[in-house]
Amino acid sequence: MKKIAVVLSGSGVFDGAEIHESVLTLLALERHGFEYQCFAPNIEQMHVINHLTGDVAEGESRNVLVEAARIARGDIIDLAEAKAQDFDAAILPGGFGAAKNLSDFAVKGSDCSVNSDLVSFIKDFAKDKKPVGFMCIAPAMLPHIYGQGTQLTIGTDQETADAIKAMGGVHQSCPVEDIVVDEDNNLVTTPAYMLASSVSEAAKGIDKLVDKIALMLG
């Protein structure tokens, strides 16, 4: 049975992993009969957002691994312990946690850096040409992992696309229900909630991303 690593970045669209995207990913993987294991870095979040008001919750702090455990129902492992050799593919749902906790893209744009454990983990997949899927804002990190010329999408947002181009990535505009495939790198991306206005819209692209990874795995 194929086994997929799913990397989360907290819990909640504004400061962690996008919950709908994460759950849709897990559902799609189960429908294909894949096993999966969730991971998250054992670090503090950049900040905490009150999801009712959208404001920063001053004085609050939360741990990315602890928060992501809510989505994984407790079955989650520190990203520092992850080994690509144990998995056939990897997927990263989006949410601002990808741009705030797994990287600092939300603050620094094209001058961003990416969590070192994530970089080394995904680079091991890249080295062996194992399939990897990134969704929503998460693909903005990919030029730092796969290098110049990486083909990807975050949807249609021009400012984000320009930052990706500045990092050496090749952005392709893409509708919410579709995917962009970098055949050279076995890399699949989809806009998800960068464009989706409903959970069913997000599901179309996420299902297609997981379908494509399944196809790559044979």
pLDDT digits (tens, 9 = 90+) for 50-98: 999 999 999 999 999 999 999 999 999 999 999 999 999 999 999 999 9
Asked if 154 contacts 137 with a C-beta cutoff of 8 angstroms, the reply is yes
pLDDT for the residue numbered 106: 97
Question: Which structural domain range is residue 182 located in?
Answer: 3-217
Q: Beta-carbon neighbour count of residue 42 at 10 Å?
A: 15
| DSSP codes, 151-193 | EE---S-HHHHHHHHHTT-EE----TT--EEETTTTEEEE-GG
Number of folded domains that form the chain: 1
Tell me the average pLDDT across 136-159: 97
For residue 200, count CB atoms less than 10 angstroms from its CB and return exposed for 0-12, middle for 13-18, buried for 19 or more: exposed
Q: Which residues have a catalytic role annotated?
A: 136
The helix or strand, by DSSP H or E, that contains position 91, with its residue range, turns out to be: strand 89-92
Q: What is the CATH number of the domain that holds 56?
A: 3.40.50.880
Number of helical (H) and strand (E) elements in the chain, helices listed first: 8, 9
Look-up of token digits 């080394």? 120
Query: pLDDT band for position 21 (50/70/90)?
Result: very high
Distance of CA 28 to the CA centre of its chain: 15
Asked if 170 contacts 151 with a C-beta cutoff of 8 angstroms, the reply is yes
Question: Three-state DSSP class for 6?
Answer: strand
pLDDT tens-digit readout, 113-146: 999 999 999 999 999 999 999 999 999 999 999 9
Query: pLDDT band for position 189 (50/70/90)?
Result: very high
Alpha helices in 60-157 (DSSP H): 64-71, 97-100, 105-108, 116-127, 142-146
How much is the mean pLDDT over the chain?
98
- % of the chain residues with pLDDT over 90: 100
Give phi and psi for 146, each to the nearest 5: -95, -15
Asked if 96 contacts 137 with a C-beta cutoff of 8 angstroms, the reply is yes
pLDDT for the residue numbered 153: 98
Question: Three-state DSSP class for 83?
Answer: coil
pLDDT for the residue numbered 49: 97
Q: At what angle do helices 64-71 and 19-31 cross, to 10 degrees?
A: 50
The pTM of the full predicted model, rounded to 2 decimals, is 0.97
Look-up of token digits 């206005």? 197
Angle at 74 between CA 72 and CA 75, to 5 degrees: 70
